[in-house]
Amino acid sequence: PVTIHRGDYRPPEWQVPDIALDFALGIDETKVAAALSVVRQADAPAPLVLRGDGLTPAAVRVDGEVWNDWHMDGGDLIVDLGERTAATVEIETVINPAANTQLMGLYASNGMLCTQCEAEGFRRITFHPDRPDVLSRYRVRMEGDKAAFPILLSNGNCIERGEEGSDHWALWEDPWPKPSYLFALVAGDLVVNKDSFTTMSGRKVDLGIWVREGDLDRTGHAMDALKNSMKWDEAVYGREYDLDLFNIVAVGDFNMGAMENKGLNIFNTRYILADPDTATDLDYDGVEGVVAHEYFHNWSGNRVTCRDWFQLSLKEGFTVFRDQSFSADMGSPPVKRIEDVRLLRAAQFPEDAGPLAHPIRPDSFQEISNFYTATIYNKGAEIIRMMATMVGPERFRKGTDLYFERHDGEAATCEDFVRAIEDGADIDLAQFRLWYGQAGTPRITARIGTDAATGERTLHLAQLVPPTPGQPDKAPMQIPLRIKAFDLDGGHGAEEERLVLLDRAEMAVPLGRYRSRPMLSINRGFSAPVIVDFAREEDELAWLAAHDDDPFARYEALQQLMLDTLVAAVSGKGGGSGAVIEAVAQTLAGRTGDPAFVAEAVLLPSEAFIGDQMVTVDPDAIRRERLALQGAIGAALEAEWRGVLSGDAPAATDLSRGAKGGRRLRGVALAYLAAAGLDDAAALAFRIFSDADGMTERQAALATLAHGDSEERAHALDIFYQRYRDNPLVLDKWFQVQAWSLRPDTVDAVKELARHPDFTLANPNRVRSLYGALTGNQAAFHRADGAGYRLIADLVIALDPKNPQTAAKMIPPLGRWKRFDEGRQALMRAELERILAQRGLSRDVTEQASKSLA
C-alpha cells in the first residue's frame, strides 16, 4: 500500500471551474456523461490527472473532438492536453449502482439511488481530480423512469424539469463552487415533510425531509432540529443559510451517520426517524445533534472547506464543537458535557493510547477512510473548545468571524484556522499549535504542597505527553486548566475559579494560605482533554461530589471515588463500598433538581474505563467487581431506587428536559435493583417493559432483562421481536441488547444471532448493532478462550470484500492487545495475522490490521 504524506502536498495543476454531469439512471446500469471545463494552473504543460476507481473511460473528447492522447495509470485517467491552458474534457462512464456494496459513489438502497462521495467516492462515478482543493460549479441533469424514480434531487436548485414518454428528467444547478466530495444525487420513490425557515436577512428557505412512504410521521423531530440549528447558527456564529432550498434524504444503508452535501444532506435513517414508540430519548438527542452537525457544515466545511484530507479536523473538530454547543443550549449543558467526555474517554483515549494513535492533523495515511476517527472528530472538538475557553466567547466569535471572512470560498488548512483565531481573538497560539501535531493524551500529575511555617499552599503540576507511534519525544503543551480551591475552615473565604495555563513540564501555582488542606477541584468542566493523576482521600472526593459548584466536577469526583474503589477491589485491595454508597445516596437525594444529571452521576464507570486505569486489564475481575459494587449499591439503597420507580413514568410523548431526565433515572434505578439480585427484579423489569408507553422505558427494561436469565427475558425478547420485526431501526436494538448482555454466554449468542434470518452483512447499521455492540462488551469480547476475537476476525474477513470501510472499523478493538495478559495478547495478534493473510484484502483493512500489529 502507498503511504501519502502531508508534507508532499502540491497545489493542483488543473482547476475545474465548471462541471456538467448527465445521468441516465438505472438501478443496475447508470450512464454518466461528464463535461469538465479545465484550466491549467501550472506554468508549464502538465498532464491532466483524473482519478478513477473501477471505471472504464468511453468517448473521451476534448473541445468537442474525439481525443486519443490519454492512457490509464492504475484506475486513473491521464489526459495529455499538450500546450493547452484551458479545455473542455468530456468522458462517459457506465456504473452499476446495484453491485456497489461498498456504499461509496452511486449505489442502490431499497430501490432508490443515492450517493456518498466523501472522501474519495466521486471517482467511482466519473473521472475527476477528486481532491477537496478543486472547486467547481455543478450542473446536473438526470433522467430516469418516472415510476421507479419519481423524485430526482441534487445539490442547489432545480431549474428545469420535463417528461419524455415513461421517463422524466430534472436539471439542477448549484451556484456555490464546491469540491467533488460534496456532490450528491438521489433518485427514488420518496415522500416529503415540507417546511420553511426565514433567515435573519428575511429570505425564505424551503426545507424538505425525504423518506420512504410510511416513515413520514417520524420526521417531525428532525425538522424541528433543522430549524433550531438554522436559528442557532445565526444567533451564535452569525452564519446564514445561502440557498433557497435545503433538502435532507434518509437512507437505510449508510456507512456512517450522515453527509453534509451542499443543499442535499443524506442521512442514515437512524439520525432522522424518531417517534416515542420506536426511538429512545438518546435516539432523539442523536437526531438533533447529527441534523445540527450536518447543517453547521454548510459553513464549517462547505463554504470553507479543507485543502487536503490531512486537514479533516478543520471541518470535523470545529463542527463537532459547534454541534456540542448547540445540543448543550437545547438541553442541559452539564449533562451534555458529561456525555461528550464519556464518549471521548471511551473512544478517543484508547485510540490515543494504542497503535493507531495519530495527531488531529495526521502526517500520513494509506486510506483516508480510516481517519474519520474519534481523534479527528472528538479530540479535534476539544482543541477548538480549549481555544474558546482561553479567549472567552466574545473574542472567540471575533476569531471565527475572521476565519469565515478570510477563507470563504476557499479550501483552507488547520493553520489558517489557528491564525484567524490568533488575529481575531488577539491571542498567541504558538505553543498551543502543538495540539495539532502531537498525538497522545497528556498526563498531568497534581500535588498540593504546604509551607509549614506560613500555611501557604502550592499546587505542583507536571505534564507528560506519552510517546506514540512515530513520535517518541514530545514537547510540553499549553494546557488550560480551570481550577478552584475550596476552603473548609472558612479562614480564606470563598475562592474564585481561575484558569491556569500549564505550559511547561512542571509548574508551581500558589494557592494562598489555608489552615487545612483545601478541597481542590481541577480540570473543571473538563477544560482540557487530559488525564489528571491527583491522589485524594475518599472524604475529599465525597465532599467535592456533594458540594462542588461545578456540576461536571461533582460528577468527576463521584466517578473518581467509584473508580478508586473498583480498581482497589480488582487488584485485591478492596476497602469496601461504604463511601461510594454514601456518596450515591447523597447525590440521589438531590434528584429532583436535575434528574438527568443525577442519573449520569450515579452510573458506575464502564468496564472499559476501569480497565484503562490498570497496567494489565483483567476483564473478568473487572466484570465481577463492578457487578458486585452495583449489587451492593442496589441493595443498600433499595428503598431509594424503588422510590424512583414508584409512581408513573412521564408520558413518552413528553420530551421536556424533566421528563427525559426522569426516564433516564428510572432506567438506572431498575438496573441497580436488578444488579442487587432482588427476587422480584425480573418481574418488575417485565412489568415496566409491558407497561411502557415508549421506547426509552421499553428498551431500558429489555436491556436489564437481557443481562439475566429469567423466563421473563425470553418472553420480552420475543414480544419485542414480534412487534418490531418490520422496523429495521428497532430490530437493530433487538440485536444490540443481546450483544450487550453481561451473561457469560454472550459470544455464543452473538454467533447464533449472526445466523438469524434478519441478520445481514449488507446493512452497516445491522452489522454495528450486533458486532459493534460485542466489541463494546469488554468481558465478552475478551473471553479468555479467544472466541470473541475469532468472531470479529471472521466478520472482518467476510465483510471486507463487500464493504471495506465498515469492515476496517471493526479492527481497532483487536489492536488493543498490549493492554492485556500474554494469553489474550497472543490470541489477538493471531487473529490480526489471520486477517492479514487473506488475499485481496482492501487497503482499508490492510492499513488498520498491519498498524495494529506493530
Computed on alpha carbons and rounded to an integer, the radius of gyration of the chain in Å comes to 28
Residue 764, C-alpha cell as written in the block = 452497516
Indicate the residue whose CB is closest to ligand B3K.
Answer: 118
Q: Of 67, 372, 526, 781, which lies in the binding site for ligand B3K, with binding defined by CB under 6 A? A: 372
Omega into 119 within 30° of 0, i.e. cis? Answer: yes
Tell me which of Zn ion, ligand B3K, none is bound by residue 607, counting a contact when its beta carbon lies within the kind-specific cut-off of 5 to 8 angstroms: none
In the complex, minimum distance from the CB of residue 118 to ligand B3K, in angstroms, rounded to a whole number? 4
Half-sphere exposure (Cβ direction) of 684: Cα atoms closer than 13 Å: 20
Q: Which CB atom, from 343 or from 475, has the smaller least distance to ligand B3K?
A: 343
Size of the site for ligand B3K (CB under 6 A): 12
Part of the chain binding ligand B3K (CB under 6 A), chosen from 106-114, 292-300, 599-607, 808-816: 292-300
The residue written with cell numbers 499549553 in the block is 478
Q: Which CB atom, from 414 or from 701, has the smaller least distance to ligand B3K?
A: 414
> Mask of contacts with ligand B3K, 442-481, x by CB under 6 A?
----------------------------------------
Half-sphere exposure (Cβ direction) of 99: Cα atoms closer than 13 Å: 8
Q: Is 834 exposed, middle or buried (0-12, 13-18, 19+ CB in 10 A)?
A: middle
Residue 344, C-alpha cell as written in the block = 471521548
Q: Which CB atom, from 60 or from 368, has the smaller least distance to ligand B3K?
A: 368
Tell me which of ligand B3K, Zn ion, none is bound by residue 369, counting a contact when its beta carbon lies within the kind-specific cut-off of 5 to 8 angstroms: ligand B3K
In the complex, minimum distance from the CB of residue 318 to ligand B3K, in angstroms, rounded to a whole number? 11
In the complex, minimum distance from the CB of residue 369 to ligand B3K, in angstroms, rounded to a whole number? 5
Strand, helix or coil for residue 373: coil
Helix, strand, coil: what percent of the chain each, to 5? 45, 20, 35
> Does residue 540 interact with ligand B3K by CB under 6 A?
no
Q: Of 174, 316, 352, 618, which lies in the binding site for ligand B3K, with binding defined by CB under 6 A? A: 316
C-alpha to C-alpha distance for 208 and 206, rounded to whole angstroms: 7
Residue 277, C-alpha cell as written in the block = 414508540
Q: Of 16, 187, 256, 754, which lies in the binding site for ligand B3K, with binding defined by CB under 6 A? A: 256
Part of the chain binding ligand B3K (CB under 6 A), chosen from 158-166, 253-261, 577-585, 695-703: 253-261
Tell me which of ligand B3K, Zn ion, none is bound by residue 841, counting a contact when its beta carbon lies within the kind-specific cut-off of 5 to 8 angstroms: none
Tell me which of Zn ion, ligand B3K, none is bound by residue 372, counting a contact when its beta carbon lies within the kind-specific cut-off of 5 to 8 angstroms: ligand B3K
In the complex, minimum distance from the CB of residue 297 to ligand B3K, in angstroms, rounded to a whole number? 6
Part of the chain binding ligand B3K (CB under 6 A), chosen from 166-174, 251-259, 436-444, 558-566: 251-259
Q: Which CB atom, from 255 or from 438, has the smaller least distance to ligand B3K?
A: 255
Spatial neighbors of 847 by CB under 8 A, at least 6 apart, are 1, 365, 366, 367, 370, 808
DSSP string, 399-443: HHHHHHHHHTTSEE-HHHHHHHHHHHHT---TTTTHHHH--S--E
Q: Which CB atom, from 302 or from 699, has the smaller least distance to ligand B3K?
A: 302
Active site residues per annotation:
294
Reported as type and span, the H/E element at residue 705 is helix 695-707
C-alpha to C-alpha distance for 794 and 798, rounded to whole angstroms: 6
Residue 317, C-alpha cell as written in the block = 473538530
Half-sphere exposure (Cβ direction) of 496: Cα atoms closer than 13 Å: 3
Diameter of the chain measured on Cα atoms: 96
In the complex, minimum distance from the CB of residue 373 to ligand B3K, in angstroms, rounded to a whole number? 11
> Does residue 419 interact with ligand B3K by CB under 6 A?
no
User: Which residues ranging from 574 to 603 are in contact with ligand B3K (CB under 6 A)?
Assistant: none
238: left (phi > 0), else alpha (psi -120 to 50), else beta? left
Sheet holding 531-533, edge to edge: 506-513, 456-464, 443-450, 531-533
Q: Which CB atom, from 182 or from 701, has the smaller least distance to ligand B3K?
A: 182
> Does residue 294 interact with ligand B3K by CB under 6 A?
yes
Tell me which of ligand B3K, Zn ion, none is bound by residue 417, counting a contact when its beta carbon lies within the kind-specific cut-off of 5 to 8 angstroms: none
Give yes or no for a contact between 373 and 358, defined as CB atoms under 8 angstroms apart.
yes
Strand, helix or coil for residue 157: strand
The residue written with cell numbers 433515572 in the block is 665
Q: Which CB atom, from 36 or from 258, has the smaller least distance to Zn ion?
A: 258
Q: How does strand 112-116 pair with strand 258-259?
A: unpaired
Part of the chain binding ligand B3K (CB under 6 A), chosen from 256-264, 456-464, 671-679, 761-769: 256-264
Q: Of 22, 53, 92, 118, which lies in the binding site for ligand B3K, with binding defined by CB under 6 A? A: 118
Tell me which of ligand B3K, Zn ion, none is bound by residue 92, counting a contact when its beta carbon lies within the kind-specific cut-off of 5 to 8 angstroms: none
> Does residue 119 interact with ligand B3K by CB under 6 A?
yes
Give yes or no for a contact between 60 and 91, defined as CB atoms under 8 angstroms apart.
yes
> Does residue 369 interact with ligand B3K by CB under 6 A?
yes
840: left (phi > 0), else alpha (psi -120 to 50), else beta? left
C-alpha to C-alpha distance for 631 and 619, rounded to whole angstroms: 18
Spatial neighbors of 423 by CB under 8 A, at least 6 apart, are 399, 402
Tell me which of Zn ion, ligand B3K, none is bound by residue 310, counting a contact when its beta carbon lies within the kind-specific cut-off of 5 to 8 angstroms: none
C-alpha to C-alpha distance for 619 and 781, rounded to whole angstroms: 9
Q: Which CB atom, from 324 or from 521, has the smaller least distance to ligand B3K?
A: 324
In the complex, minimum distance from the CB of residue 70 to ligand B3K, in angstroms, rounded to a whole number? 29
Q: Which CB atom, from 298 or from 319, has the smaller least distance to Zn ion?
A: 319
Tell me which of ligand B3K, Zn ion, none is bound by residue 124, counting a contact when its beta carbon lies within the kind-specific cut-off of 5 to 8 angstroms: none
527: left (phi > 0), else alpha (psi -120 to 50), else beta? alpha
In the complex, minimum distance from the CB of residue 54 to ligand B3K, in angstroms, rounded to a whole number? 17
In the complex, minimum distance from the CB of residue 124 to ligand B3K, in angstroms, rounded to a whole number? 13
> Mask of contacts with ligand B3K, 260-289, x by CB under 6 A?
x-----------------------------
Give yes or no for a contact between 420 and 406, defined as CB atoms under 8 angstroms apart.
yes
Tell me which of ligand B3K, Zn ion, none is bound by residue 361, counting a contact when its beta carbon lies within the kind-specific cut-off of 5 to 8 angstroms: none
Spatial neighbors of 655 by CB under 8 A, at least 6 apart, are 276, 281, 284
In the complex, minimum distance from the CB of residue 316 to ligand B3K, in angstroms, rounded to a whole number? 5
In the complex, minimum distance from the CB of residue 297 to Zn ion, in angstroms, rounded to a whole number? 6
Give yes or no for a contact between 248 and 268, defined as CB atoms under 8 angstroms apart.
no
Tell me which of ligand B3K, Zn ion, none is bound by residue 119, counting a contact when its beta carbon lies within the kind-specific cut-off of 5 to 8 angstroms: ligand B3K
Q: Which CB atom, from 255 or from 319, has the smaller least distance to Zn ion?
A: 319
Strand, helix or coil for residue 236: helix
Q: Which CB atom, from 182 or from 530, has the smaller least distance to ligand B3K?
A: 182
Q: Which CB atom, from 381 or from 675, has the smaller least distance to Zn ion?
A: 381
Q: Of 103, 249, 259, 266, which lies in the binding site for ligand B3K, with binding defined by CB under 6 A? A: 259
> Does residue 254 interact with ligand B3K by CB under 6 A?
no
* Total H helices, total E strands in the chain: 29, 31
Residue 502, C-alpha cell as written in the block = 500549564
In the complex, minimum distance from the CB of residue 116 to ligand B3K, in angstroms, rounded to a whole number? 7
Q: Which CB atom, from 288 or from 600, has the smaller least distance to ligand B3K?
A: 288
**Positions that interact with Zn ion (CB under 5 A):** 316, 319
In the complex, minimum distance from the CB of residue 294 to ligand B3K, in angstroms, rounded to a whole number? 5
CA 84 to chain CA centroid, nearest Å: 45
In the complex, minimum distance from the CB of residue 469 to ligand B3K, in angstroms, rounded to a whole number? 22
Tell me the backbone φ, ψ of residue 335, rounded to 5 degrees: -65, -40
C-alpha to C-alpha distance for 830 and 835, rounded to whole angstroms: 9
> Does residue 293 interact with ligand B3K by CB under 6 A?
yes
Binding site for ligand B3K (CB under 6 A): 118-119, 256, 258-260, 293-294, 297, 316, 369, 372
